[in-house]
Amino acid sequence: MNKIIQDEEFRYIESGKGQPLIILHGLMGGLSNFKGVLEHFPNNGYQIIIPELPVYSLPILNTSVKSLSEFLYDFISHRGLKDVILLGNSLGGHVGLLFTKNHPELVKGLVLTGSSGLYENNLGDGYPKRGDYDYIKKKSEAVFYDPKIATKEIVDEVFESVNDRNKLVRTLALAKSAIRHNMAKELPKMKTPTAIIWGKQDSVTPPNVAEEFNNLLPDSNLYWIDKCGHAPMMEHPLKFNTILQHWLEARKF
């Protein structure tokens, strides 16, 4: 993985030159989840930027999808970026949607994959069992179609997060904020071109969620990846990159 850059209060990874493509990770997803995208697109005319979202460091009363969207605005302003493409997975997709609704003039295109914003099956239902490693392992594996994608490193990271009271409280606050902040009424007014890339076997944000996004957004394209769960860019990086590249080229981005 590329080295993390620390710039004032921002931490991020950056690679390549050209059209800025900002990647927004999910609640349990680290920057490494987008390794495939980071390896492919900088060689193809894109400047890939992955900011670390402050999911564990905001004041608890200000831990929400809205405050993450405001953080993204501060980051984009700090970097002097415009005409960006946003790519968000899970909670990151939700942050991208809200940012695009509030700042359409800054966003040229939006890519959603396993995004919250309409509905999600939350990890939060089982947190009382947080000390149980096997339970967390099963929960982590259920995110993917192929449970082997949930490596020991991924399971350890989730286990550490849910057993750290500070992280757990913020995880639950963000999960609740995502559920409360349903965007169904706002989506039909959003004209930004959007690619929806979804795993056919996603159990966290099931396939009907992707269909609903596609029906509600005025200018969207829906793409399916089979034998795939909630994180297509991790389970099928080559397919994901091919679909994304095709969409970007078709839209002349």
Q: What is the pLDDT of residues 173-206, one digit of tens each?
A: 888 888 888 999 999 999 999 999 999 999 999 9
Question: Each residue of 67-116: pLDDT tens digit?
Answer: 999 999 999 999 999 999 999 999 999 999 999 999 999 999 999 999 99
Q: What pLDDT shows up at residue 179?
A: 85
Q: What pLDDT shows up at residue 78?
A: 96
Greater confidence (120 vs 190) lies with 190
Rounded CA separation 8/74 (Å) = 12
Residues 6+ apart with CB under 8 A from 30: 157
* Contact by Cβ (8 Å): 161, 136: no
Domain boundaries, the chain: 5-121+182-250
> Taking Cα atoms as reference points, which of 39, 8, 2 lies closest to residue 245?
39
Rounded CA separation 24/218 (Å) = 22
Q: With bands split at pLDDT 50, 70 and 90, how would you rate the model's confidence at 120?
A: low
Rounded CA separation 245/5 (Å) = 26
For range 28-37, the mean pLDDT = 80
Question: Each residue of 123-174: pLDDT tens digit?
Answer: 444 444 567 899 889 888 999 999 999 999 989 988 888 888 888 888 888 8
Residue type, 176: K
> Looking at the domain 5-121+182-250, which fold is it?
Rossmann fold (3.40.50)
Q: What pLDDT shows up at residue 124?
A: 46
Percent of the chain with pLDDT over 90: 69
Question: Each residue of 50-66: pLDDT tens digit?
Answer: 999 999 888 888 889 99
